[in-house]
Amino acid sequence: MSEIDAHAPLRQDVRMLGQLLGNTLQEQESPVLLELVEEIRRLAKHARAGHEEHSQKLSEKLSRLEPELLVPVARAFSHFLNLANLAEQYHRVRRRHAYQQSQRKNQRATMAELHPRLQRAKISDDQLFDTLQDLSIDLVLTAHPTEVTRRTLIRKYDDITDCLERLDSVNLSDIERNRVMATLKRKIVSAWNSDEIRQERPTPVDEARWGFVTIEQTLWNAVPEYLRELDEWCQANIARSLPMDFTPFTFSSWMGGDRDGNPNVTAEVTREVVTLARWMAADLLSHDFENLHMELSMLDCNEELRQLAGDGREPYRAVIKPLRDRLIATKGYLNARLADEEWHGEQPILSKAELMEPLKLCHRSLMECGMSEIANGELLDTIRRLNTFGVTLLRLDIRQESTRHADAMATITQAIGLGDYTQWEETEKQRFLISELTSARPLIPRHLQCDADVQEVLDTFRMLAEQSIDSLGAYVISMAHVPSDVLAVLLLQKEAGMETLMRVVPLFETLDDLEHAQATLHRLFEIDWYRQHIEGQQEIMIGYSDSAKDGGFLAAAWVQYQAQEQLTALCKQYDVRLTLFHGRGGSTSRGGAPSYEAILSQPPGAVNGRIRITEQGEVIRAKFTPFGVAIRTLQRYVAATLEATLLEQPAPNPEWREIMGELAETGMQSYRKLLREDPRFLSYFRHATPEQELQRLPLGSRPAKRRKDGGIETLRAIPWVFAWTQMRLMLPGWLGADEAFQKALQSGKGGLLHEMYERWPFFRMIVGMLEMVLAKSDPQIAAYYERRLAQPEDRKLGQELHSRLADMVDLVNSITGHSMLLQNNSVIRRSIEVRNPYLDPLHMLQVELMRAGRLKTEERPEETRALMITVAGIAAGMRNTG
C-alpha cells in the first residue's frame, strides 16, 4: 500500500469530523454562524493559495466582527483544530495495528526491529534480557499554561476517539454504524456546549489533578498491557519470561512540587497534592481489587494461601475482599486528611507491601494449582500496576532555587551566633554542613525567628518529613553552582526529621552552569561523606530551556552534549552510576524532540540503562492518549533506551567536534547580538508578539516572570518561546543557527555538514528539529502581526528576520540534500498544510483582539475570552507551544 493510500483514512476522519462540527454550528448556534465560518475558511484557503485580494477581505471581515460573534467564531476554528488532533492521534493507533497485522518487522523503535540489529552487533540474548530487566525509565509529568484542558472536555475527547476506533471495525452492521455516528455527533455537540477555557487562573492543585487524569484514562491500563506484549515477545523470540515484579517505568510529577519562582506552590499545596495522588491510587486500586474479587472465585489453593485465608470455601476471595475494603477505607482516611479531620475508621493501606505480598501469594497458589491462565490474567496486571504506580500513583519531585536554601541557612547560623552563612567561603560552608550532617544534636532553634520566605522553606521540609518516601521523588535544586548547594538541602532534610532523605539533584541550566557542571560534581565527589551517602548513584538534571534562552538553540545543544560527556566520564572515574534527568519542553528551543531520536542522540555511555525525562503539558496528551498511542510511546522508550545502552553510539570525530564548536560560537554571538545589542529588539518583541497578553491571561498557575521587574532576562522560557510560536516566527528555535550554517557553508564545509547529518545522531537530531520548527514558521503570518501591532520603526527588523528565516530554510535543505522541508515526512507536511486555513483566521482574530485591547483602558469579558480561545486554538494547531 502506498503512503498516500495508507493515510487516506486520516483524511476521511478529518473531513467527517469537520462536517459534524459544521452541522453542530448550524443546529446549536445558527445557519448564519456556519455560513460566516465557512466564508472565513474559504477566504483563508484562497489567501493561502496566493490571492492577495482574499487576504485583504479576510482581514476586513475579522476586524469588523460584531462583539457577540468573537467567541463563537474563535471557538469554531479552535474546535476544528482539536478534532483534527484527535483524528491524527487515532491514526497513529491505526498505523500501529496495520504493522501488527502485517507481521512486518521494520517499524522503528520496536523490539522486532531492534533485535536483528543487536544480533548483528553480537549482543547475546542473555545480555539483552539482563539489560532489559535493569532499565529505569522515569517519566516526569509537568504542567504547561495552555494544557489545563478541563477534565470534562478530556473525557469527551476520549469518547470521540473511541468512536473513531469503533468506526474502523469491518464487522459493524449498518444499524451499529449509525449508532456510533449518533454517539460521535452527540459528543461533538456536548463538547461545543461545554466551556473549554477556565475562567480563572488554574491553581497548582488544578494542574496536578489534570496530570492524574492521564494516568487514570490511559496509563493505568497501558502499562500492564505493554508489559504483557513485551513479555510475549521475550517468550517468543529469546525464550525468556519477564519476572512478575518487572517494570521499567516510574512516573513522577512536578505539578504541585515545582516552587521555583511560583509563590502559589506552598507546603500546604504540596501536602494536598501528595494526598490527592494517594487518593487516586487508592481509588484505582479499589476498582482493581473489586474486579479480582469477582474473578478469583476458584476453590483450589495451596497450603500457604489456605493458612492465610482460613477455612472459607473461596480462599482467594477471602484474601482479596478485606484488602478491597481497606482500600475503600483508605479513600475515607485520605478525605479526612484533606479536610484536616480525625480518622476513626478501618486501618488504611499505607504501603505497597501490604497489597503486594497477598497478591503474589495468590499468584503462586494459582500457578501451583494448574491455573496459570488465571494467575497471568487480571491478577498479574494488578501486580504490575502496583509495581509501577505503588499506592502513591506517582512520585512528586520538589524543585526550589538554591538561594532560598542559602537564605534559610543564613537565618539559622545568625540565630545561633555563627554569623551570616551567605558571606562564608565555600570551603567554610562545606566544613560546617558536613559537621552538622554527622552530628546527632539538632541545629535549628525551636523558636526560630525568620521571614516568610525562610519560614516557607522550613515548612516545606517539615511537610516532606511527614510523607512516605514512596510519595517523593527527587529534590531538584535550580541554579546549583557549588557543592554546598547540595549539602545544604541534605542538611535541611535531616533537621526536618526525614528518616530517609530524598535524593538531591543539582540542575545545571544556564550555559555557564553547564560548562562548569563537571567541576561542580567533581568537587562533590571529593567529599568522602557525600560519596558514601550516595552509595554509587548520582542523578544530574540537564536544563534545556534557560540555556537555549541564554545563548540560542545551537550553542545550548552543543554545551548540553559536552556537559553530558564530561559528567558521564567523571562518574565512570568514580565508579558511580549516573542518571541524567533531561528537562525538555515541547518546543525545539526547549529541547523538544521525538523521544526515540532524543535518546539516541545522547553521547556514548550517557544513557546506560536509565533515563529521566520531563513530559510537559501539551506533550503529555500527545504521547499518552489515546490508549494505543500510550502503548506505542512506552514501546519507543524501551527500545530507544535499550539501543542507546547496548549498541555503541558513534562518537564525534575531532573534525566534527571542531566544526560543532565553531557553529555553536557563531550561533551564540549572532543570537546575543540581536537580543542584547539591537536597540529595536525589545520594542519589536513587546509589540509584535502577544507577550504582554500572555502575562495577563489566566493561563497557568506560575507567573510569567521570575521577578516582576526586569526585561527579557527575567521572562520564563515558556512564555518567551510561546510568544514567538503564537505569531509563527519561531525565533528561539533557529536564531543564530542561520549565521552559523551560512559561515560554515561559505568556508567550504557543506560536505562535512552533510556527512555529520548522515552519520552523527546528535547532529541529525539538531537539523531535524530545525527542519520541524522551520516548517511550522510562517513569515506571512508574522508580517501580519508586525503590520497591525509593531511600531513603524520596528518593522524593518521584522523584514530582516523574515529574510534570515528564508535563508535558514535554504541552509537546512542544503545540509539535508532535500528540495523541501520535511521531504521525508509527507504526513507532517500535509498536516501543517491542512491546518493553515484554520489557523490563519485565529491568528488574524488574535491580532485584531490584541490591537483593540491595547487601545482600551478596560477589558471586555467577551474579548478576553475570545483572546484566550485564540491562544489555546493556535497552540492546538501548532501541536507544541513552549
What are the sequence ranges of the domains in the chain?
3-121+146-209, 280-388, 654-878
Of residues 832 and 404, the one with the higher pLDDT is 404
Q: What is the pLDDT of residue 539?
A: 98
Q: What is the DSSP string of 576-589?
A: -EEEEEEE--SSGG
Cβ–Cβ under 8 Å, residues 794 and 680: yes
Separation of alpha carbons 426 and 67, rounded Å: 61
Task: Find the mean pLDDT for residues 494-513.
Answer: 96
Separation of alpha carbons 24 and 186, rounded Å: 9
Cell output for 525: 565527589
Q: What is the pLDDT of residue 464?
A: 98
506 pLDDT higher than 50? yes
590 pLDDT higher than 60? no
Q: What is the pLDDT of residue 1?
A: 46
385 pLDDT higher than 60? yes
Q: What is the pLDDT of residue 545?
A: 80
Band (pLDDT 50/70/90 cuts) for residue 5 is confident
User: What are phi and psi for residue 617, nearest 5 degrees?
Assistant: 30, -100
708 pLDDT higher than 60? no
419 pLDDT higher than 90? yes
Percent of the chain residues past pLDDT 90, beyond the cut:
77
Separation of alpha carbons 561 and 565, rounded Å: 6
Amino acid 652 reads P
Separation of alpha carbons 258 and 270, rounded Å: 9
User: What are phi and psi for residue 583, nearest 5 degrees?
Assistant: -90, 70
Beta bridge partners of 12: none
Task: Find the mean pLDDT for residues 183-189.
Answer: 97
Nearest to 832 by CA among 34, 39, 48: 48
Q: For residue range 6-55, list pLDDT tens digits in order.
A: 788 988 999 999 999 999 999 999 999 999 999 999 999 999 988 889 99
Cβ–Cβ under 8 Å, residues 250 and 611: no
Separation of alpha carbons 141 and 208, rounded Å: 9
453 pLDDT higher than 80? yes
Task: Find the mean pLDDT for residues 633-639.
Answer: 96
Nearest to 682 by CA among 652, 651, 711: 711
3-state secondary structure of 349: coil
Separation of alpha carbons 868 and 146, rounded Å: 9
Q: What is the DSSP string of 486-524?
A: HHHHHHHHHHHT-SSPPEEEEEE-SHHHHHTHHHHHHHH
The CATH architecture one would assign to domain 280-388 is Up-down Bundle (1.20)
The H-or-E segment that residue 832 falls in is helix 826-855
Q: What are the helix (H) ranges across 238-339?
A: 267-295, 303-309, 315-338
Q: How many helices (H) and strands (E) does the chain have?
A: 41, 8
Cell output for 336: 479526612
881 pLDDT higher than 50? no
145 pLDDT higher than 80? no
Q: What is the pLDDT of residue 592?
A: 58
Beta bridge partners of 540: 580
Separation of alpha carbons 306 and 316, rounded Å: 9
Q: What is the pLDDT of residue 880?
A: 53
Amino acid 379 reads L
Q: How many CA atoms lie within 13 A of 241 on its CB side?
A: 4
Nearest to 879 by CA among 113, 62, 87: 87
3-state secondary structure of 611: strand
Q: For residue range 764-789, list pLDDT tens digits in order.
A: 999 999 999 999 999 999 999 999 99
Residue 650: DSSP 8-state: P
Inter-axis angle of helices 795-816 and 750-759, to 10 degrees?
70
714 pLDDT higher than 60? no
Give the burial string for 289-326 (b: 16+ CB within 10 Å, else e).
bebbbebbebeebbeebeeebeeeebbbbbbbbebbeb
Cβ–Cβ under 8 Å, residues 6 and 95: yes
74 pLDDT higher than 70? yes
| Sequence-ordered list of residues with C-beta below 8 angstroms from that of 647, at least 6 positions apart, any chain | 117, 118, 121, 123
124 pLDDT higher than 50? yes
Q: For residue range 668-704, list pLDDT tens digits in order.
A: 999 999 999 999 999 999 999 999 888 776 665 555 5
Q: For residue range 824-849, list pLDDT tens digits in order.
A: 888 788 888 888 989 999 999 999 99
Q: What is the DSSP string of 53-109?
A: HHHHHHHHHHHT--HHHHHHHHHHHHHHHHHHHHHHHHHHHHHHHHHHHHT----SS
Task: Find the mean pLDDT for residues 284-312.
Answer: 96
Cβ–Cβ under 8 Å, residues 564 and 603: yes
Of residues 719 and 328, the one with the higher pLDDT is 328
Nearest to 316 by CA among 273, 366, 271, 351: 366
Inter-axis angle of helices 67-102 and 31-48, to 10 degrees?
70
Q: What is the pLDDT of residue 588?
A: 54
pTM passes above 0.85? yes
Cell output for 23: 452541522
587 pLDDT higher than 90? no
Give the burial string for 72-87 (b: 16+ CB within 10 Å, else e).
bbbbbbbbbbbbbbbb
3-state secondary structure of 370: coil
Q: What is the pLDDT of residue 882?
A: 38
Separation of alpha carbons 240 and 249, rounded Å: 20
Amino acid 154 reads I
Residues belonging to the active site: 144, 549
Separation of alpha carbons 80 and 78, rounded Å: 5
Q: What is the pLDDT of residue 146?
A: 53
Inter-axis angle of helices 826-855 and 861-878, to 10 degrees?
160
Beta bridge partners of 627: none
Count the Cβ atoms, other than its own, within 10 Å of residue 331.
Answer: 19
Band (pLDDT 50/70/90 cuts) for residue 99 is confident
The H-or-E segment that residue 478 falls in is strand 472-478
| Sequence-ordered list of residues with C-beta below 8 angstroms from that of 164, at least 6 positions apart, any chain | 13, 86, 87, 90, 184
Q: What is the DSSP string of 1-22?
A: --HHHHTHHHHHHHHHHHHHHH
Lowest-confidence pick of 241-245, 309-313, 699-703:
699-703
521 pLDDT higher than 70? yes
Cβ–Cβ under 8 Å, residues 851 and 789: yes
Separation of alpha carbons 46 and 42, rounded Å: 6
